[in-house]
Amino acid sequence: MTAPSSIDAESLFQRGNSLLAGGQFADAMAFYSDALQRRPEHPETMANLGVACAELGRLDEAIQWYDAAIRIRPQYPEAYYNRGNALHAAKRFDDALAAYDAAIQIEAKFARAWNNRGLTLMRLRRAQDAITSYREALKLQPSYAEAWNNLGLAMQILGQIDEAIRNFSESLRLQSTFASAHTNRAQAWLLKGDFALGFSEYEWRWQLPRYRLAPRNLPLWDGAPLEGRSILLRHEQGLGDTLQFVRYAPLVKERGGRVVLECPASLHPLLESFGGVDRLIDRGAPAGDCDWQVPLLSLPGLLHTDVGTIPARVPYITASPGRVERWRARLPRGKRLVGISWQGNPDFSEDVFRSIPLAEFAPLAKVSSVQLISLQKGPGVGQLDSFHKRHHVTEMGEAFDADKPFLDTAAVMSLLDLVVTSDTAIAHLAGALGRPVWIALSVAPEWRWLLDRTDSPWYPSARLFRQPTLGDWPAVFNEMAELLRS
């Protein structure tokens, strides 16, 4: 979109602002660019061009425009704030924090900057400092629903669950349809073991883009008897979630119908022998003659699960016998074999609190009767280079799970004495296989691990090890090492 040459810079700037407000970011960029040709030294145009670039994911470009605006107007808090937002999105969290601090130094009453500063502090594992930042935002703007919600998340990370619920509730008092606060409060209730309240409110997750499923022209199942009809169970969230909640398929089948499971095709070989499913289809594939649909994580609520009625008969997933035999010859002998996994999905906002630096596993490597076996794939594998300088870890090689996820992992797990892992899909796979698994957890982990217990009602073969205080992984692994020695 090109503007006529007769239009003045201010008109172009205002037209760009209208397009920016309407979400037409590429067109807004064109008008801002034309405005800058007529008025090159205009910091507001540069800053708004940066916003348009950021909305289109062009973060480096956005940062350059914010920098240009700041060079012309050094005391420009909004430009520093937006620069912080772009740096946060680029995962340059230390730089983002510096940008928010600069904005606040210029304008101390900048509530949005205090709030977003808290978000960045959370990604830097500084939850207590994040709480201070959120509270400053709320002191300036007590009706700031988003800041109340963020304060609740930080409180929950520190294990202050009741206070977190109060913060989520205050957020909802101010903004009753705030889906993020509803979803967060649901997970806090679930963490406390209040499944009736938690699973009911957890249905608010569908209002959030990260949870939405591709639409299917099928009614949602309400838990009624199926009476011979077919139902589509739908994968949602991560692979570990499907491994955990596929256990409900046999209970659905008992309602008198035919069960079709929609999940990533990569999981089909692992689940093809699972007895509760009549057919597997890939995500987005035709569902055939299905009469109903239901997301997997809605099943515990529909089937009125409480902590005492979780279906937990294991194993409900089995490894391929052929793969077990192929890997048997490749594993070392003479010591107890302990598989380890430490890194989850780094794109998950709270991964910094659940994933564990590999260096923290050192106490296990020092147990003379133990040989560590790496089960890690993808992010985190690079940490092995420095770990190998002091401790030996057996790696499975490039062929490990090269064709489909978890097939080789399941086979190797079947040959191990123990699996030790952070809160990742590896924990769910080991539990579903009925293998002994020790799971290292933060002070307030994901809701499925509940609070104040060392066992898991989801996985009878699991033992839970919890940080005594936030970030205290040494206490967790020293306890594990002592148990391994004894």
**303 with 339, same domain?**
no
d(CA 54, CA 194): 40
Answer whether residue 337 is part of any domain. yes
Residue 348: band (very low, low, confident or very high) from pLDDT cuts 50, 70, 90: confident
82: in domain: yes
314 occurs within a structural domain:
no
Q: Which long-range contacts (CB under 8 A, 24 or more apart) does 48-51 make?
A: 48/13, 48/16, 48/17, 48/20, 49/16, 50/79, 50/82, 50/83, 50/86, 51/20, 51/82
Contact 246, 304 (CB under 8 A): no
The answer to whether position 221 is within a domain reads: no
pLDDT bucket at 4, cuts 50 / 70 / 90? low
Q: Considering the domain boundaries, does residue 14 fall inside one?
A: yes
Are both 291 and 406 inside the same structural domain? no
Q: What gap in Å lies between CA 484 and CA 372, rounded to an integer?
A: 12
CA distance linking residue 221 with residue 218, whole number of Å? 9
326 and 301 together in one domain: no
Mean pLDDT, residues 101-108 taken together:
98
Residues 348 and 278 in one domain: no
* 7 — pLDDT class (breaks 50, 70, 90): confident
Q: What is the pLDDT of residue 286?
A: 92
Residue 94 pLDDT > 90: yes
299 and 378 both lie in a single domain: no
- Residue after which a domain boundary falls, among 309, 343, 370: 309
| pLDDT value at 145 more than 60 | yes
Mean pLDDT, residues 126-152 taken together: 98
For residues 14-40, average pLDDT: 93
| 281 and 202 share one domain | no
pLDDT per position as a tens digit, 228-278: 999 999 999 989 999 999 999 999 999 999 999 999 999 999 998 898 899
pLDDT value at residue 6? 56
Rounded to whole angstroms, how far apart are CA atoms 310 and 190? Answer: 13
Average pLDDT, the chain: 94
pLDDT in tens, 425-451: 999 999 999 999 999 999 989 999 999
Across the beta sheet with 292-295, what order do the strands follow? 279-281, 258-262, 230-234, 292-295
What mean pLDDT is predicted for residues 160-182?
98
Instruction: Pull the structure tokens for residue 50.
Output: 């940066």
Give the mean pLDDT of 387-412. Answer: 91
The answer to whether residues 151 and 280 belong to one domain is no
Give the CATH number, domain containing residue 247. Answer: 3.40.50
Q: Please count the structural domains in the chain.
A: 3
- Whether the Cβ atoms of residue 34 and residue 5 lie closer than 8 Å to each other: no
Whether 256 and 367 share a structural domain: no
**Is 222 among the domain residues?**
no
**Residue 281 backbone phi and psi in degrees, to 5:** -130, 155
Lowest mean pLDDT among 192-206, 221-235, 313-327, 392-406: 392-406
Report DSSP letters for 106-174, one per residue. H-TT-HHHHHHHHHHHHHTT-HHHHHHHHHHHHHH-TT-HHHHHHHHHHHHHTT-HHHHHHHHHHHHHH
**pLDDT band at 1; cut points 50, 70, 90:** low
Between the alpha carbon of residue 34 and those of residues 20, 24, 214, the distances in Å are 15, 16, 39
- Per-residue pLDDT of 367-393, as tens digits, reads 999 999 999 998 889 999 999 889 999
283 shares its domain with 334: no
Q: What is the CATH number of the domain that holds 49?
A: 1.25.40.10
Boundaries of domain holding 431: 321-485
- pLDDT-above-90 percentage for the chain: 90
pLDDT top residue among 446 and 4 = 446
Q: Which tens digits make up the pLDDT trace of 41-60?
A: 999 999 999 999 999 999 99
Report, as an integer, the average pLDDT of 178-205: 97
Tell whether the model's pLDDT for residue 457 goes beyond 90. yes
Do 297 and 325 reside in the same domain of the chain? no
Confidence of residue 320 (pLDDT cuts 50, 70, 90): very high
- Segment 152-162 shows an average pLDDT of 97
Confidence of residue 5 (pLDDT cuts 50, 70, 90): low
445 falls within a domain: yes
Predicted confidence at residue 25, as pLDDT, reads 95
Q: Give every CB contact of residue 31 below 8 A, 6+ residues apart in sequence.
A: 1, 3, 12, 13, 15, 16, 19
Domain boundary among 256, 283, 309: 309
Same-domain status, 428 and 287: no
Question: What mean pLDDT comes out for the span 395-400?
Answer: 89
3-state secondary structure (DSSP) of residue 354: helix
pLDDT of residue 268: 95
212 lies in some domain = no
Specify the pLDDT at position 3.
54
Which residues is 294 bridged to in the sheet?
A: 233
**CATH code for position 372:** 3.40.50.2000
What is the enclosing helix (H) or strand (E) of 384? helix 384-387
Give the integer Cα–Cα distance in Å for 261 and 48: 46
Handedness of CA 350, 353, 357, 362 (dihedral sign): negative
Let me know whether 190 and 257 are in one domain: no
Instruction: Indicate if the pLDDT at residue 356 is higher than 80.
Output: yes
**Confidence grade of residue 2 (pLDDT, cut at 50, 70, 90):** low
End residue of a domain, out of 257, 275, 309: 309
Partners of 261 in the beta sheet? 233, 280
Report the interhelical angle of 161-174 vs 179-191 (nearest 10°).
160
